[in-house]
Amino acid sequence: MTVKKLTKGNIALAEGAIQAGCRFYFGYPITPQNDIPEYLAKHLPEVGGTFIPAESEIASINMVLGAGASGERAMTSSSGPGISLMQEGLSYLAGSEIPGLVVNIMRCGPGLGGIAPTQGDYTQAVHGGGHGDYRNIVLAPASVQEMFDLTIKAFELADRYRMVSIILADAMVGQFQEPCRLTPEKPIVMPDKPWALRGRQGRNPQLLKSLYLGPGEQEAHNLDLQKKYAEVQKNEVLCEEKFLDDAEIMIVAFGTPSRIAKTAIRMAREQGIRVGLLRPITLFPFPSEQVRAHSARIGKVLVVEMNTGQMLYDVKIAAHKDAAISFYGRPGGGIPFPNEVLAEIRKALE
Protein backbone atom coordinates (compact mmCIF):
# COMPACT_ATOMS: atom_id res chain seq x y z
CA MET A 1 0.00 0.00 0.00
CA THR A 2 1.27 3.46 -0.82
CA VAL A 3 1.87 5.52 2.29
CA LYS A 4 0.48 9.02 2.17
CA LYS A 5 1.52 11.77 4.51
CA LEU A 6 -0.37 14.96 5.34
CA THR A 7 1.81 17.51 3.55
CA LYS A 8 1.74 21.19 2.70
CA GLY A 9 1.83 22.01 -1.03
CA ASN A 10 5.07 23.98 -0.91
CA ILE A 11 6.77 21.21 1.07
CA ALA A 12 5.61 18.57 -1.40
CA LEU A 13 7.12 20.65 -4.18
CA ALA A 14 10.44 21.04 -2.35
CA GLU A 15 10.62 17.31 -1.55
CA GLY A 16 9.74 16.55 -5.17
CA ALA A 17 12.69 18.66 -6.29
CA ILE A 18 15.10 16.74 -4.06
CA GLN A 19 13.73 13.42 -5.29
CA ALA A 20 14.01 14.63 -8.90
CA GLY A 21 17.76 14.96 -8.33
CA CYS A 22 17.84 18.73 -7.97
CA ARG A 23 20.90 19.57 -5.88
CA PHE A 24 21.06 23.33 -6.41
CA TYR A 25 18.63 25.87 -5.03
CA PHE A 26 19.11 29.64 -5.18
CA GLY A 27 16.50 32.03 -3.87
CA TYR A 28 15.42 35.19 -2.10
CA PRO A 29 12.63 35.30 0.51
CA ILE A 30 9.11 36.31 -0.47
CA THR A 31 5.69 35.26 0.83
CA PRO A 32 3.83 32.94 0.09
CA GLN A 33 6.61 30.57 -0.97
CA ASN A 34 9.07 30.73 1.96
CA ASP A 35 8.39 27.13 2.98
CA ILE A 36 10.23 26.03 -0.16
CA PRO A 37 13.65 27.66 0.55
CA GLU A 38 13.34 26.90 4.26
CA TYR A 39 12.76 23.20 3.58
CA LEU A 40 15.58 23.03 1.05
CA ALA A 41 18.02 24.96 3.27
CA LYS A 42 17.56 22.19 5.82
CA HIS A 43 17.37 19.15 3.57
CA LEU A 44 19.58 19.85 0.53
CA PRO A 45 22.80 19.63 2.60
CA GLU A 46 21.69 16.17 3.78
CA VAL A 47 21.98 14.90 0.20
CA GLY A 48 25.14 16.83 -0.66
CA GLY A 49 23.25 19.66 -2.30
CA THR A 50 23.87 23.40 -2.35
CA PHE A 51 21.55 26.08 -1.02
CA ILE A 52 22.47 29.72 -1.54
CA PRO A 53 20.39 32.54 -0.03
CA ALA A 54 20.96 34.85 -3.00
CA GLU A 55 21.15 38.64 -2.77
CA SER A 56 18.23 39.09 -5.17
CA GLU A 57 15.99 37.22 -7.56
CA ILE A 58 18.18 38.55 -10.38
CA ALA A 59 21.14 36.75 -8.83
CA SER A 60 19.02 33.65 -8.12
CA ILE A 61 18.03 33.07 -11.73
CA ASN A 62 21.59 33.70 -12.93
CA MET A 63 22.90 31.15 -10.44
CA VAL A 64 20.37 28.73 -11.94
CA LEU A 65 21.85 29.63 -15.33
CA GLY A 66 25.38 28.83 -14.13
CA ALA A 67 24.46 25.54 -12.45
CA GLY A 68 22.16 24.57 -15.33
CA ALA A 69 24.94 25.22 -17.86
CA SER A 70 27.05 22.83 -15.78
CA GLY A 71 24.49 20.11 -16.52
CA GLU A 72 22.96 20.03 -13.03
CA ARG A 73 19.29 20.14 -12.09
CA ALA A 74 18.90 23.57 -10.50
CA MET A 75 15.96 25.68 -9.36
CA THR A 76 14.71 28.85 -7.79
CA SER A 77 11.33 29.85 -6.40
CA SER A 78 9.64 33.15 -5.80
CA SER A 79 6.43 35.10 -6.25
CA GLY A 80 5.16 38.10 -8.29
CA PRO A 81 7.73 40.88 -7.78
CA GLY A 82 10.61 38.39 -7.62
CA ILE A 83 9.47 36.59 -10.77
CA SER A 84 9.34 39.96 -12.53
CA LEU A 85 13.02 40.49 -11.65
CA MET A 86 13.87 37.09 -13.11
CA GLN A 87 12.46 37.81 -16.57
CA GLU A 88 15.83 38.96 -17.93
CA GLY A 89 17.42 35.70 -16.82
CA LEU A 90 14.54 33.60 -18.15
CA SER A 91 15.06 35.13 -21.58
CA TYR A 92 18.80 34.29 -21.48
CA LEU A 93 18.10 30.73 -20.33
CA ALA A 94 15.68 30.33 -23.24
CA GLY A 95 18.07 31.87 -25.74
CA SER A 96 21.02 29.74 -24.59
CA GLU A 97 18.80 26.65 -24.21
CA ILE A 98 19.77 25.96 -20.62
CA PRO A 99 17.22 23.99 -18.56
CA GLY A 100 16.09 24.95 -15.08
CA LEU A 101 13.05 25.11 -12.81
CA VAL A 102 11.37 28.32 -11.69
CA VAL A 103 8.53 28.09 -9.19
CA ASN A 104 6.01 30.92 -8.93
CA ILE A 105 3.64 30.68 -5.98
CA MET A 106 1.62 33.63 -7.19
CA ARG A 107 0.73 36.69 -5.17
CA CYS A 108 -1.58 39.47 -6.24
CA GLY A 109 -0.42 42.39 -8.33
CA PRO A 110 0.27 44.78 -9.86
CA GLY A 111 3.03 46.14 -7.65
CA LEU A 112 3.67 44.73 -4.23
CA GLY A 113 0.10 43.44 -4.16
CA GLY A 114 -1.21 41.03 -1.56
CA ILE A 115 -0.52 37.45 -0.57
CA ALA A 116 -3.97 35.93 -1.01
CA PRO A 117 -4.49 33.22 -3.68
CA THR A 118 -4.55 34.58 -7.22
CA GLN A 119 -3.68 33.66 -10.81
CA GLY A 120 -2.61 37.06 -12.11
CA ASP A 121 0.72 35.83 -13.50
CA TYR A 122 -0.70 33.50 -16.17
CA THR A 123 0.14 35.84 -19.04
CA GLN A 124 3.63 36.54 -17.72
CA ALA A 125 4.42 32.83 -17.38
CA VAL A 126 2.72 31.54 -20.53
CA HIS A 127 3.20 34.37 -22.99
CA GLY A 128 6.57 35.76 -22.09
CA GLY A 129 7.53 38.38 -19.59
CA GLY A 130 11.10 38.56 -20.82
CA HIS A 131 12.28 39.89 -24.16
CA GLY A 132 12.36 37.96 -27.41
CA ASP A 133 10.49 35.13 -29.14
CA TYR A 134 10.56 32.35 -26.59
CA ARG A 135 8.39 30.04 -24.51
CA ASN A 136 8.63 28.36 -21.12
CA ILE A 137 7.05 25.05 -20.24
CA VAL A 138 4.37 25.95 -17.68
CA LEU A 139 2.80 23.41 -15.32
CA ALA A 140 -0.18 24.22 -13.11
CA PRO A 141 -0.70 21.91 -10.12
CA ALA A 142 -4.12 21.82 -8.46
CA SER A 143 -3.32 19.53 -5.52
CA VAL A 144 -0.52 18.79 -3.07
CA GLN A 145 0.12 15.51 -4.90
CA GLU A 146 0.58 17.41 -8.14
CA MET A 147 2.97 19.83 -6.44
CA PHE A 148 5.16 16.77 -5.87
CA ASP A 149 4.60 14.90 -9.13
CA LEU A 150 4.67 17.89 -11.48
CA THR A 151 7.93 19.15 -9.97
CA ILE A 152 9.57 15.90 -11.01
CA LYS A 153 7.85 16.16 -14.40
CA ALA A 154 9.03 19.76 -14.74
CA PHE A 155 12.69 18.76 -14.36
CA GLU A 156 12.26 15.92 -16.87
CA LEU A 157 10.67 18.20 -19.47
CA ALA A 158 13.23 20.97 -18.88
CA ASP A 159 16.08 18.56 -19.52
CA ARG A 160 14.40 16.85 -22.48
CA TYR A 161 13.80 20.12 -24.34
CA ARG A 162 16.56 22.26 -22.81
CA MET A 163 13.95 24.76 -21.65
CA VAL A 164 12.91 26.44 -18.44
CA SER A 165 9.97 24.81 -16.70
CA ILE A 166 7.76 27.01 -14.57
CA ILE A 167 5.51 25.66 -11.84
CA LEU A 168 2.68 28.19 -11.69
CA ALA A 169 0.63 27.69 -8.54
CA ASP A 170 -1.71 29.86 -6.52
CA ALA A 171 -1.11 30.37 -2.81
CA MET A 172 -3.99 28.02 -1.93
CA VAL A 173 -2.22 25.11 -3.63
CA GLY A 174 1.06 26.19 -2.04
CA GLN A 175 -0.27 26.59 1.47
CA PHE A 176 -2.92 23.95 2.06
CA GLN A 177 -2.31 20.44 3.32
CA GLU A 178 -3.48 17.17 1.79
CA PRO A 179 -2.43 13.54 2.01
CA CYS A 180 0.46 13.08 -0.42
CA ARG A 181 2.54 10.17 -1.67
CA LEU A 182 6.09 11.47 -1.33
CA THR A 183 7.75 8.92 -3.60
CA PRO A 184 8.14 9.21 -7.39
CA GLU A 185 5.68 7.36 -9.59
CA LYS A 186 8.56 5.95 -11.62
CA PRO A 187 12.34 5.83 -11.15
CA ILE A 188 14.20 9.07 -11.79
CA VAL A 189 16.52 8.89 -14.79
CA MET A 190 19.19 11.56 -15.13
CA PRO A 191 19.78 12.22 -18.84
CA ASP A 192 23.17 12.73 -20.46
CA LYS A 193 23.93 16.36 -21.25
CA PRO A 194 26.71 16.41 -23.82
CA TRP A 195 26.09 20.13 -24.38
CA ALA A 196 26.96 21.04 -20.77
CA LEU A 197 30.05 23.13 -20.05
CA ARG A 198 32.39 21.01 -17.96
CA GLY A 199 35.76 21.99 -19.41
CA ARG A 200 37.03 21.05 -22.85
CA GLN A 201 38.92 17.92 -21.74
CA GLY A 202 38.58 15.19 -24.36
CA ARG A 203 36.59 17.27 -26.81
CA ASN A 204 36.49 20.63 -28.58
CA PRO A 205 35.62 23.77 -26.61
CA GLN A 206 31.88 24.36 -26.22
CA LEU A 207 29.89 27.55 -25.96
CA LEU A 208 26.46 28.40 -24.62
CA LYS A 209 25.27 31.77 -25.84
CA SER A 210 22.34 33.81 -27.04
CA LEU A 211 24.16 36.48 -29.05
CA TYR A 212 23.91 35.98 -32.82
CA LEU A 213 25.19 38.92 -34.86
CA GLY A 214 25.94 37.31 -38.23
CA PRO A 215 23.48 37.85 -41.09
CA GLY A 216 20.53 35.51 -40.66
CA GLU A 217 21.99 33.76 -37.61
CA GLN A 218 19.49 35.09 -35.11
CA GLU A 219 16.56 34.32 -37.40
CA ALA A 220 17.78 30.74 -37.90
CA HIS A 221 18.19 30.37 -34.13
CA ASN A 222 14.66 31.70 -33.52
CA LEU A 223 13.21 29.30 -36.09
CA ASP A 224 15.05 26.38 -34.46
CA LEU A 225 13.57 27.37 -31.10
CA GLN A 226 10.10 27.52 -32.65
CA LYS A 227 10.56 23.99 -34.05
CA LYS A 228 11.37 22.80 -30.55
CA TYR A 229 8.33 24.58 -29.10
CA ALA A 230 6.15 22.91 -31.76
CA GLU A 231 7.49 19.52 -30.61
CA VAL A 232 6.59 20.39 -27.03
CA GLN A 233 3.10 21.40 -28.16
CA LYS A 234 2.71 18.12 -30.08
CA ASN A 235 4.04 15.77 -27.39
CA GLU A 236 3.56 17.17 -23.93
CA VAL A 237 0.01 18.46 -23.44
CA LEU A 238 -1.51 17.36 -20.14
CA CYS A 239 -5.07 18.03 -19.05
CA GLU A 240 -7.82 16.54 -16.94
CA GLU A 241 -11.15 15.94 -18.71
CA LYS A 242 -14.09 15.24 -16.41
CA PHE A 243 -17.83 14.73 -16.99
CA LEU A 244 -17.50 15.98 -20.56
CA ASP A 245 -19.25 13.13 -22.39
CA ASP A 246 -22.80 14.28 -21.67
CA ALA A 247 -22.01 17.92 -20.84
CA GLU A 248 -24.13 20.79 -22.07
CA ILE A 249 -21.50 23.27 -20.90
CA MET A 250 -17.76 22.94 -20.30
CA ILE A 251 -15.85 24.80 -17.59
CA VAL A 252 -12.17 25.50 -18.32
CA ALA A 253 -10.17 26.22 -15.17
CA PHE A 254 -6.71 25.49 -13.75
CA GLY A 255 -5.33 25.38 -10.20
CA THR A 256 -7.65 26.20 -7.31
CA PRO A 257 -10.58 27.39 -9.49
CA SER A 258 -10.70 23.88 -11.02
CA ARG A 259 -11.27 22.49 -7.51
CA ILE A 260 -14.02 25.03 -6.88
CA ALA A 261 -15.49 24.21 -10.29
CA LYS A 262 -15.72 20.53 -9.34
CA THR A 263 -17.88 21.42 -6.34
CA ALA A 264 -20.03 23.67 -8.54
CA ILE A 265 -20.34 20.84 -11.10
CA ARG A 266 -21.52 18.42 -8.40
CA MET A 267 -24.10 20.96 -7.21
CA ALA A 268 -25.22 21.56 -10.81
CA ARG A 269 -25.54 17.87 -11.59
CA GLU A 270 -27.65 17.36 -8.44
CA GLN A 271 -30.00 19.89 -10.04
CA GLY A 272 -29.89 18.12 -13.41
CA ILE A 273 -27.54 20.56 -15.13
CA ARG A 274 -24.88 18.59 -17.01
CA VAL A 275 -21.59 20.41 -16.60
CA GLY A 276 -18.12 19.12 -17.53
CA LEU A 277 -14.59 20.26 -16.73
CA LEU A 278 -11.47 20.66 -18.79
CA ARG A 279 -8.50 21.41 -16.52
CA PRO A 280 -5.25 22.34 -18.30
CA ILE A 281 -2.31 20.87 -16.37
CA THR A 282 0.19 22.19 -18.88
CA LEU A 283 -0.49 25.87 -19.65
CA PHE A 284 2.28 25.79 -22.24
CA PRO A 285 1.77 23.60 -24.15
CA PHE A 286 -1.90 24.61 -23.88
CA PRO A 287 -4.50 21.87 -24.53
CA SER A 288 -5.78 23.75 -27.58
CA GLU A 289 -6.84 20.64 -29.49
CA GLN A 290 -8.89 19.39 -26.54
CA VAL A 291 -10.54 22.79 -26.09
CA ARG A 292 -11.35 22.92 -29.79
CA ALA A 293 -12.80 19.41 -29.96
CA HIS A 294 -14.91 19.65 -26.81
CA SER A 295 -16.13 23.18 -27.53
CA ALA A 296 -17.16 22.13 -31.05
CA ARG A 297 -19.30 19.32 -29.61
CA ILE A 298 -20.58 20.98 -26.42
CA GLY A 299 -21.01 24.51 -27.78
CA LYS A 300 -20.88 26.40 -24.49
CA VAL A 301 -17.73 27.23 -22.52
CA LEU A 302 -17.30 28.97 -19.15
CA VAL A 303 -13.76 30.03 -18.24
CA VAL A 304 -13.17 30.49 -14.49
CA GLU A 305 -9.96 32.12 -13.25
CA MET A 306 -8.67 34.02 -10.24
CA ASN A 307 -7.78 37.00 -12.43
CA THR A 308 -9.60 39.24 -14.88
CA GLY A 309 -9.34 36.84 -17.82
CA GLN A 310 -5.88 35.75 -18.92
CA MET A 311 -6.16 32.08 -19.89
CA LEU A 312 -9.45 33.24 -21.43
CA TYR A 313 -7.51 34.46 -24.47
CA ASP A 314 -5.95 31.05 -25.07
CA VAL A 315 -9.36 29.42 -24.75
CA LYS A 316 -10.84 31.90 -27.24
CA ILE A 317 -8.07 31.22 -29.75
CA ALA A 318 -8.43 27.46 -29.36
CA ALA A 319 -12.22 27.15 -29.18
CA HIS A 320 -14.44 26.28 -32.12
CA LYS A 321 -15.62 29.42 -33.90
CA ASP A 322 -19.26 28.73 -33.08
CA ALA A 323 -18.70 28.10 -29.38
CA ALA A 324 -20.21 30.61 -26.94
CA ILE A 325 -17.57 31.58 -24.40
CA SER A 326 -18.28 33.30 -21.11
CA PHE A 327 -15.98 34.22 -18.27
CA TYR A 328 -16.09 34.47 -14.51
CA GLY A 329 -13.06 35.80 -12.66
CA ARG A 330 -12.12 37.15 -9.25
CA PRO A 331 -8.83 39.08 -9.19
CA GLY A 332 -6.64 40.42 -6.41
CA GLY A 333 -7.11 37.61 -3.91
CA GLY A 334 -10.83 37.12 -4.44
CA ILE A 335 -11.72 33.41 -4.45
CA PRO A 336 -14.84 32.31 -6.38
CA PHE A 337 -17.43 30.47 -4.31
CA PRO A 338 -19.06 27.37 -5.84
CA ASN A 339 -22.48 29.04 -5.77
CA GLU A 340 -21.05 31.99 -7.73
CA VAL A 341 -19.76 29.58 -10.36
CA LEU A 342 -23.13 27.80 -10.39
CA ALA A 343 -24.87 31.13 -10.99
CA GLU A 344 -22.53 31.78 -13.93
CA ILE A 345 -23.30 28.31 -15.32
CA ARG A 346 -27.03 29.09 -15.18
CA LYS A 347 -26.48 32.47 -16.82
CA ALA A 348 -24.44 30.90 -19.64
CA LEU A 349 -27.16 28.32 -20.28
CA GLU A 350 -29.98 30.86 -20.46
The residue within the footprint of other proteins, chosen from 39, 92, 161, 229 (CB under 8 A), is: 92
**Which H or E run contains 312?**
helix 311-318
Asked whether position 26 contacts other proteins by CB under 8 A, the answer is yes
Q: How far is the CB of 242 from other proteins (least distance, A)?
A: 41
Angle (nearest 5°) at CA 143 between 162 and 141: 25
Asked if 115 and 109 count as a contact pair (C-beta separation under 8 A), the reply is: no
How far out from the chain centre does Cα 130 lie? Answer: 16
Asked whether position 54 contacts other proteins by CB under 8 A, the answer is yes
The residue within the footprint of other proteins, chosen from 200, 271, 272, 350 (CB under 8 A), is: 200
The residue within the footprint of other proteins, chosen from 1, 201, 214, 227 (CB under 8 A), is: 201
Asked whether position 80 contacts other proteins by CB under 8 A, the answer is no
Asked whether position 65 contacts other proteins by CB under 8 A, the answer is yes
Angle (nearest 5°) at CA 190 between 188 and 196: 160
Q: How far is the CB of 257 from other proteins (least distance, A)?
A: 35
Distance of alpha carbon 134 from alpha carbon 93, whole angstroms: 10
How far out from the chain centre does Cα 59 lie? Answer: 21
Q: Which is nearer to other proteins, 24 or 134 (CB)?
A: 24
Asked whether position 108 contacts other proteins by CB under 8 A, the answer is no
- 52: helix, strand or coil: strand
Asked whether position 214 contacts other proteins by CB under 8 A, the answer is no
Asked whether position 208 contacts other proteins by CB under 8 A, the answer is yes
Asked if 98 and 65 count as a contact pair (C-beta separation under 8 A), the reply is: yes
* Residues near other proteins, by CB under 8 A: 24, 26, 50, 52, 54-56, 58-60, 62-72, 74, 88-89, 92, 96, 197-202, 205-211
